[in-house]
Amino acid sequence: MRLPKRGAQAGFTIVEVVLAMGILLVGAAAILSMLTFGASMTRAAQLRTAAATAVEAVRADLEANMFPYDPLLDGEDGEVGSPKTFVDRAVPGLSQVVYSATPTQNPNLPREYRVDVDITWTTGGVERNKQITWILLREISFGERLRRRFVEKSGALPGQEVK
């Protein structure tokens, strides 16, 4: 039996090995950079979602509590009272977020109030702050209207029989 001859084509040269390792290294670096970019985008999306949730919670709390129902005012069903000013009020469900709100009545539209809100929270050991301005109408909140419609008029919760 005859052994094959060792020729110049029998294996890889050192240049080919280094070139293949370089291509592999560039590919691995590209994949790693995409993973870190994806992780940072995920974190940013989580922070934006938390911020949006906090802002919506503040708005819901303001709509429910800024204009309290006052049954002693004129009107068959009572009316809303004077607006409240909130200072360092904790957001329901988000104890690490507090806000202050100051209502200012529009002189041309007496039911309309400009509400300046200052939201404060701590993240990563740093206290952060955001100012938002909303226009709210002086009216009975949706929850209060539902409560009066279904609970007070019938004396029972929706779905319960009146005895």
Per-residue pLDDT of the chain (163 residues; tens, 9 = 90+): 666 666 556 788 999 999 999 999 999 999 999 999 999 999 889 888 888 888 888 998 888 888 887 766 655 555 777 889 999 999 888 878 899 999 999 999 988 999 999 999 887 788 888 999 999 988 877 777 777 777 766 555 555 554 4
Nearest Cα to 66, choosing from 49, 82, 47, 89? 82
Whole-structure pTM value: 0.66
- How many Å apart are CA 39 and CA 42, to the nearest integer? 5
Phi, psi values for residue 100, rounded to 5°: -125, 140
CA distance 61 to 86: 11
Closest CA to 109 of 140, 68, 78, 138: 138
pLDDT at 162: 47
Cβ–Cβ under 8 Å, residues 70 and 129: no
